[in-house]
Amino acid sequence: MQVEIKNSRINCYQCMRPSCSCICKHINPIQTKTRFIILMHPKEYKREKNGTGHMTKLQLENSEIIVGIDFTNNKRVNEILNDEKNSSFLLYPGKENFNLSLRKSSEIISFMGNNPYIFLLDGTWPCARKMLKLSKNLQQLKRVSFDNKIKSKFIFKQQPAPLCLSTIESVYTLLNLLKEGDLEYCETKDFLIPFEKMIDYQLEYILNPNNKNYSSTANKEIITKNKYKINPQRSIVFEQERK
Ligand SMILES: [Zn+2]
């Protein structure tokens, strides 16, 4: 199911969403020790209606967005990587990666240090893979991952696998693991509110019989979610195998 609001201009340049579904009033940024670097695919930047990169940035005081595909010669990325004070990591799925869900607090702290920089690839799953394939500097980064136990609420964004998470859900999961590891002390309970509000807006939109995307089967599709598995297109960054 494709939920595209045709011809609707982006009106809010904060959250990059149409003004009718602007989520800025639900933004409540938190301070973290970890710095989050959101590497955003240009395609994702343009169709932020369904993306969560911008809202993730708005929710995190200590974060930034860098747009690109190949970051090998990206000045800002290299500035971060070349600064010896920083310890940088890439959040990326993979069995060999440092798995935050399985490690003890002391192991996490000795692996990551006190003020890690975490790079996230924000784009569809094929885009994220391509970004990493092209970016030689990012390939050198130590990788962290986690066992994804929460099921994405992002029902409007087709995911390549049922347990794929949006960028904001990935950061939320990561922050909670860093809290368990005594690396973060921030309050995360309201972190996903803008994301939940965005879903509410989208639900309202497709369930409204007055709009042209209305489908009487919408409810059923939303619950079963089966379609998303066969359409690998609009998805995001984090994927973990089902156990
Ligand atoms: Zn806004």
Ranges assigned E (strand) in 41-164: 63-67, 87-91, 98-99, 116-122, 142-145
How far is the centre of ligand 1, averaged over its atoms, from the C-alpha of 212 (Å)? 24
Q: Which domain holds residue 146?
A: 23-150+165-189+233-238
| Three-class SS state of 77 | helix
175 in any annotated domain? yes
Q: Is the pLDDT of residue 218 over 60?
A: no
How far is the centre of ligand 1, averaged over its atoms, from the C-alpha of 201 (Å)? 13
Q: Mean per-residue pLDDT for 165-179?
A: 93
14 in any annotated domain? no
- pLDDT reported for residue 236: 36
How far is the centre of ligand 1, averaged over its atoms, from the C-alpha of 115 (Å)? 29
210 in any annotated domain? no
Q: Mean per-residue pLDDT for 228-238?
A: 37
Confidence of residue 53 (pLDDT cuts 50, 70, 90): very high
Task: In whole angstroms, give the CA distance from residue 29 to residue 51.
Answer: 18
How far is the centre of ligand 1, averaged over its atoms, from the C-alpha of 90 (Å)? 28
- pLDDT reported for residue 212: 63
Share of the chain above pLDDT 90, in %: 53
The least confident of 48-52, 54-58, 122-126 is 48-52
How far is the centre of ligand 1, averaged over its atoms, from the C-alpha of 56 (Å)? 13
Confidence of residue 91 (pLDDT cuts 50, 70, 90): very high
Confidence of residue 154 (pLDDT cuts 50, 70, 90): low
67 in any annotated domain? yes
- pLDDT reported for residue 9: 65
Sign of torsion, CA 73 67 26 193? negative
Q: Mean per-residue pLDDT for 63-83?
A: 97
160 in any annotated domain? no
Q: How many domains does the chain divide into?
A: 1
